[in-house]
Structure 1
Amino acid sequence: MAQNTPLAQEAVPTKQLITRKHWVTVIALSAIISVAAVLIGTHKFQLGPAAVVLFPIIWAVVIGGLVGTQRIRPLSGSSRAVATLLLEIGIIVFLARLGTQIGPSLGKFAEIGPAIMLQEVGHIFGTVIIALPVAVALGLGRVAIGATWSIDRESFLAYAIQKFGVRSGEYRGVFSVWLLGSLFGAVFISLLAGFLGGLDIFDPRALALGLGLGSASMMLGGVGALSLLYPGQAGEIMALAALSNLVTNIVGFYAGVFLSLPMCRGLYRFWSRVLRRDDDGRSTRKAEPKNRQAGPARAEKKVQLSVEIDPPLKITPKVTILAYAIVGASALLMNFAGTRNFAGSDVLGILVLLLLTGLSFRLSRLLPSVPSSVWVLAITTILTAPFLPTAGLVAELTQHLDVILIGLPALTLIGLTVGRDIGALRSLSWKIVVVALLTYSASFIAAAALGQLVLGV
């Protein structure tokens, strides 16, 4: 998360202590907002021929974001540090539950195996082909490369820092797309998925494949919207999206570094010549001295992207156990609030998911090149595969746990941590916002279109 990653050129350090009050504040706010989102419920309305679905995930992020950025009683950096820890655990618990739905369905996906692999081509090249020329035309300069070679998740951000440096245009592009995706990606993709699903152009399975963007929160948002539009196929949609996301997490980074980035840099030079733009985004049609002098100043101004660094949270065994207990209790609370049902097996099911989450974090520390999200999806998929004796037991313990509901608190926490990045958000140009949204859209739609082609529907 942000406080553990060198995300910006200028960080604002804080010297706050983390106390019990901060834990209580985050737990209370998260529970209240998540329950409120469930009570608000789902609302669907037509926008022309398409449907727009507003459902609890969206309410949770929006309300959490409003609370996280308000200035009447602002959320402190210490509270955000607690929220970030709970978020990191909560999102992996969600993926663990999602993985338990993949294993039982592995046999069904044999016939669409090529579509799962081909969607990665859409993620890699859709952004470069569609979004890059727009970014160059808008005058982003070398920022366009970082903004369009992928949807820029954490691994791409770290690579950009090492490859280009924090004062480069490429890094500014990566940072901006990462930031916008982290804060608003889930809401945007859920709205886009609902809109496309309502048009009846794509098979819902193709749209599910397109949701494997490499971002758990974006996938969760899109899955929620499609599941409401196609309730009869909800299980298949969730499993396909998770499997697609697993493929993206495994091969997406390497494909992006060795295929997408070289292609993006080559096409950037091509479009810069065609559109007559220099590396600062200025037009070369009229290279007046006044413009040449103003350009560097404008470019330098764009560099000022900063996020506030929250106080470090010391992770002791006691803190770890407490965090896991809070995440588990929150998941059970949301599941009960949404389903109005509670069974003893639900507690055991959550305990199993928490244990697998802890195992995944442990494995990711032993093998840092493989993130915990990949580990947890792989482990839960294997444990629930029909050929293993554990499949029946895991399925029985988790059958009443709604994957969307137990993932809801994590999305609420994303909203609550928005205040950390508000300074960087204010410094972003409207142009990079447009390009970021186009990048997400192009990646999703291109992958879905290729999936549709392979499915033959």
Structure 2
Amino acid sequence: MASEAQLINQPSAAAPDQQITRRHWWTVVAVSLLVSVAAVLIGTYKFQLGPAPVVLFPIIWAVVLGGILGTQRIRRVSGASRAVATLLLEIGIILFLARLGTQIGPSLAKVTETGPAILLQEVGHIFGTVILALPIAVAMGLGRVAVGATWSIDRESFLAFAIQRFGVRSGEYRGVFSVWLLGSLFGAVFISLLAGFLGGLNIFDPRALALGLGLGSASMMLGGVGALSLLYPDQAGEIMALAALSNLVTNIVGFYAGVFLSLPLCRRLYTFWSRLFGKDDDGRSTRGARSKPELPGATQPAPVAVEVDPTLKVTPRITILAFAIAGASALVMNVVGTKNFAWNDAAGVIVLLLLTGLSFRLARLLPSVPSSVWVLTITTVLSAPFLPTAGLIAGLTQHLDVILIGLPALTLIGLTVGRDIKALKSLSWKIIVVALVTYSASFIAAAALGQMALGR
């Protein structure tokens, strides 16, 4: 999440001494709700791009409109407002996962039929980027940056590992940082467009595409699920359940598989491709003219760090306020999107908030297991048919639309973009291309292996 990234990256300048006031809270809440409502009112649009449709729907509008407001210079979003947005974003994403988990439980019987496909698609996430994206990155002259950019889709845990393993001035870290940054800002939009495009081609079983969405990123998964659900409304429930379960598997085993399997393979293949393309560790050609020698003690610059926002002191009172705002925002968007309200919906949101709070608590007690894993596990089990709680959970959440609940959180991603704008401007166009190839390779490879296991 964004706050974890702030702790991970070394700041280029000290955080501004800015007091966080009620005005900042009201600003963030009002803007996020207005943008989310605008995204719903704009609605869904489809147009043909060659043989496949491109689907533009509220999730995309929420991220784009939020991003425009987060980067505009007329009335800048302050660091204090971004600090508030970051806290609400963390809660909103886990709240969305809580609702998603309640859709897995009732579908467990159907999901277990695709068990081998769920396991096989994870191989695609682990090795797809290394096999498909790495040679492109080396050929484009990224040098050792290619290793960090292609051994995974580089979420927060990989960013922390790269700092400890390679150091912030290494090429590997620059690659990890760049792919993490681009994924955090634009991953949801890109994956939603890619999923919609591939879904419209009718090459893949929609269940295989859902399995491919287990990228380890909740926002990317939400974007892809939204696109596929619009294309295959009759299978929307199964698509959401499979994507969430696949993402859960990736969150549990993805980091360890990346560190112990894909990274060693990536480093070995990097040596092979570097020799084949005639590139050194800085991406310069080793053929013909001799490369310019490095000066003694010369080091590569680290990527520009994200700005550090003021620290929001999270007291019990602030925590309760943030949870109340996240829940109220989700409920408001559900009412706006469904044009319906029932007191059961409010009770359902409260139950999801309690499970979200429990997940954060368990994550603090056992830091090796993130809150996203806890919340999906707990809500899946509680909503499973073999437990007496299943009927209660289903009755309280049946009218809560999972996509609408996630909209305010995705709007907040856009509002925090201003913090990363300097780092974004420092990126080379080559790393942007490679990052998009990395996301695509992970998604498509996992979907292809899932398709094989499904036997379509």
TM-score (structure 2 length as normaliser): 0.98
Who is 2:195 aligned against? 193
Give secondary structure in 2 for the equivalent of 1:313.
Answer: coil
Q: Alpha-carbon deviation of 1:10?
A: 4.1
Q: Distance in 2 between matches of 1:347 and 1:8?
A: 38
Pair 1:56 & 2:94 matched: no
Contact 2:125 2:443 in 1 (8 A): yes
Q: Alpha-carbon deviation of 1:190?
A: 0.1
Who is 1:449 aligned against? 448
Contact 1:44 1:54 in 2 (8 A): yes
Who is 2:422 aligned against? 423
Contact 1:10 1:304 in 2 (8 A): no
What does 1:20-99 align with in structure 2 at a 5 Å threshold? 20-99=22-101
Pair 1:359 & 2:371 matched: no
Who is 2:110 aligned against? 108
Counterpart of 1:160, as a letter, is A
Q: Alpha-carbon deviation of 1:110?
A: 2.1
Who is 2:391 aligned against? 392
Deviations 1:352-393 (A, max 9, x none): 000000000000000000000000000000001110000000
Contact 1:2 1:309 in 2 (8 A): no
Q: Distance in 2 between matches of 1:393 and 1:446?
A: 38
Q: Alpha-carbon deviation of 1:324?
A: 0.4
Who is 1:300 aligned against? 300
Unaligned runs of 5+ in 1: none
What does 1:312-351 align with in structure 2 at a 5 Å threshold? 312-351=311-350
Contact 1:3 1:310 in 2 (8 A): no
CA gap of 1:295–1:236, structure 2 versus 1, over 3 A, is farther
- Aligned residue pairs total 454
Unaligned runs of 5+ in 2: none
Who is 1:11 aligned against? 12
What does 1:50-449 align with in structure 2 at a 5 Å threshold? 50-288=52-290, 291-292=292-293, 300-301=300-301, 303-449=302-448
Q: Alpha-carbon deviation of 1:296?
A: 9.8
Give secondary structure in 1 for the equivalent of 2:19.
Answer: coil
Q: Alpha-carbon deviation of 1:305?
A: 1.6
Q: Distance in 2 between matches of 1:76 and 1:142?
A: 36
Contact 2:216 2:254 in 1 (8 A): yes
Q: Distance in 2 between matches of 1:323 and 1:9?
A: 27
Counterpart of 1:124, as a letter, is I
Q: Alpha-carbon deviation of 1:295?
A: 13
Q: Distance in 2 between matches of 1:4 and 1:377?
A: 20
**Percent of residue pairs bearing the same amino acid type:** 79
Contact 1:282 1:295 in 2 (8 A): no
Give secondary structure in 2 for the equivalent of 1:11.
Answer: coil
Contact 2:11 2:308 in 1 (8 A): no
Deviations 1:111-154 (A, max 9, x none): 21000011110000000000000000111111100000000001
Deviations 1:180-212 (A, max 9, x none): 000000000000000000000000000000000
Deviations 1:261-316 (A, max 9, x none): 00000100111111111111111003436x3359998x735x24221000000000
Q: Alpha-carbon deviation of 1:217?
A: 0.2
Counterpart of 1:258, as a letter, is F
> Mean alpha-carbon deviation: is it higher for 397-406 or for 277-286?
277-286
Q: Distance in 1 between matches of 2:308 and 2:418?
A: 11
Q: Alpha-carbon deviation of 1:11?
A: 2.6
CA gap of 1:239–1:304, structure 2 versus 1, over 3 A, is closer
Contact 2:384 2:390 in 1 (8 A): yes
After the TM superposition, which segments of 4 or more aligned residues of structure 1 sit over 6 Å from their partners? 294-297
TM-score (structure 1 length as normaliser): 0.97
Contact 1:331 1:405 in 2 (8 A): yes
What is the alpha-carbon root mean square deviation over aligned residues?
A: 1.4
Contact 2:214 2:250 in 1 (8 A): yes
Counterpart of 1:385, as a letter, is A
Q: Distance in 2 between matches of 1:249 and 1:385?
A: 21
